[in-house]
Amino acid sequence: MKWHEMGQTELLNITKTSIDKGLTEKEAEKRLERHGTNELQEGEKTSAVALFFSQFKDFMVLVLLAATLISGFLGEYIDAIAIIAIIFVNGILGFFQERRAERSLEALKELSAPQVAVLREGDWVKLPSKELVPGDVVRFASGDRIGADLRLIETKSLEIEESALTGESLPVSKQAEAFQASDVSLGDLKNMAFMGTLVTRGSGTGVVIGT
């Protein structure tokens, strides 16, 4: 879909939504069941015990364990104890690093899933962004984080910081007007906003086109 080339009427027809009413709760439920929640699917979490013992599956750790056995057979007990201590300390450090990485990912997930203002049956309501579905009409202002991929339909001095996607450090000015372009880069999609990016100035309204 070349969303950036669509006029507002075509956009609303394709997404089967209304700029005045948004989706009905019944239709939103159907789309949520069809498309799933607007969040990354997680695999099964590893228990703390399993995570700790996984630190000792590395090839070099196995080599060190073999060296420990050899030292023990040769009567070099001090060397064997020292190697075991190194392996144990290494395992503890690896365990805490992985746990910290997990917590950081959870924090990032919370950051990318804010509450959003959504138009449902003519009323603006606050919902978690994981409940957004294609066709939802959402609005946002300075300081808000974009909850899903949007095609903008109204902007007021809108600027969005997209460095996480494009590497561009400066906020990007946005517009609602359609434009024709065949080979356009992500950073040049001036009439679109993307999940997780930050509104730094102005306000706007958009239609969810991807979750």
Give me the DSSP letters along 140-199: EETT-B--SEEEEEEEEEEEEE-HHHH---S-EE---S----SS--GGG-TTEE-TT-EE
Q: What is the pLDDT of residue 107?
A: 67
128 and 69 in a common domain: no
Query: What is the pTM assigned to this prediction?
Result: 0.70
Instruction: Tell me: pLDDT of 106 over 80.
Output: no
Lowest-confidence segment of 46-50, 136-140, 207-211 by average pLDDT? 46-50
Rounded mean pLDDT, 166-183: 90
Instruction: Tell me: pLDDT of 161 over 90.
Output: yes
Q: Given 67, 88, 110, which residue is the final one in a domain? A: 110
Write the CATH number for 142.
2.70.150.10
Q: Residue 176: which domain range?
A: 3-39+114-210
